[in-house]
Amino acid sequence: FSYRWKPPVSPLLALCTFLIAEKHAGEKSPWKPYLDVLPKTYTCPACLEPDVINLLPKPLKKKAQEQKIMIQELFRSSKAFFSSLQPLFAENTGTIFNYSALEWAWCTINTRTIYMKHPRRECFSLEPDVYALAPYLDLLNHSPNVQVKAEFNEQTRSYEIWTNSQCRKYQEVFICYGPHDNQRLLLEYGFVAMDNPHSSVYVSPDTLLKYFSPLDKQRKAKVSILKDHDYLENLTFGWEGPSWRLLTALKVLSLGADEFACWKRILLGDVTSARNEQQALGTAAKICQFLIEETQHVLLQISQLKRDKENLKPHLALVEMLRSEDLKILEKSAEILCNLNLGTT
């Protein structure tokens, strides 16, 4: 930007503006070959229809709505800046820099940029300038089963990727975007990986608490303890069964009145009583069964919607993949819990 915009724009908005302007330039853009390989549309949750967002697991649905609001807010706050670009364009900037153009540019950046620190520039706001689009590099696909090291080499001034995984001649080379579960992959990149070893199913605080009596006099104190020690979030079922965090939260909530004073020991991983252990495992099995039924119900809804709404088919297929993977994890967890419960009785 040759202009000194006041107030200065964020590096993110500058990159969005660049993408929209170059795409609008079409044949005249020196970046045309790169722009031609970019997806025309994205499947990030922010781009999904409300009907589809409703079918996502609760924690992801919340994040998807937050993502949508963030793009809407960026668009609202950038309108004046886009208008000020009018002298550079023959066409109305309102039609060039419209909401769907910004959504496309934001998704391009969110799904494809690599992290790269740039020196602070006067023309930009104080927000971190860490985005870089790397044509060709972003054609590499993700696999959860490979190990890579990737970074910008200051000496050679080039971005380097080193792999620790073997790759056969003529086979596709994969990179790993990180040990992300499927909810994170869908949120940030708009896809789901089947048989993802990092995948897990989240238990929301509401689901957790509905298995404990509101008549328990210490219930409020137990919830406070879990909240204070950050044990109400990131409670999951994985391929290996309920996570240690989930079982710990269940053990605290299962404490009898006479055991309540021992809550600190539970957070440290100690056993208070066989009854407490057994109750926690039993409740984990009930929650797992509830989530299995809920997932099956959503999969049924998806198959009905796929018949009724042809236009939503690609998006529904994505949520179906996510939910099917969830079902596999929950069924595996149920099996593990069944064996554990049999072992404790």
Cα–Cα distances (Å) from 243 to 200, 259, 272, in that order, read 9, 23, 19
- The owner of tokens 């989530």 is 291
Question: Which two structure tokens, joined as six digits, stand for 51?
Answer: 């009907």
Q: What's the CA gap between 155 and 136, in Å, rounded?
A: 21
Cα first-last separation, the chain: 71
CATH 3.90.1420 domain extents, the chain: 200-343
pLDDT at 154: 87
pLDDT at 1: 47
Cα–Cα distances (Å) from 150 to 118, 160, 197, 205, in that order, read 17, 6, 21, 37
Q: What's the CA gap between 71 and 177, in Å, rounded?
A: 23
pLDDT at 4: 64
Cα–Cα distances (Å) from 194 to 42, 178, 287, in that order, read 19, 15, 24
Q: Going from the first residue of the chain to its last (345 residues), give the mean pLDDT of each consecutive group of 10, the final group possibly shorter.
A: 70 95 96 95 92 92 94 95 93 96 96 84 82 88 90 88 88 90 94 93 93 90 94 94 96 92 90 92 97 97 94 94 97 95 65
pLDDT at 3: 55
**CATH number among 3.90.1420, 3.90.1200, 1.10.3470, 1.25.40, domain 200-343:** 3.90.1420
pLDDT at 2: 45
Q: Helices 313-344 and 182-189 meet at what angle, rounded to 10?
A: 160
pLDDT at 138: 85
Residues in CB range of 322: below 8 A, 6 or more apart: 56, 57, 60, 182, 183, 186, 192
Q: Which of 250, 251, 246 is closest to 235 using CA atoms?
A: 246
pLDDT at 202: 95
Q: Strand 141-142 to strand 174-175: parallel, antiparallel, or no bridges (unpaired)?
A: parallel
Question: Which two structure tokens, joined as six digits, stand for 191?
Answer: 């896809």
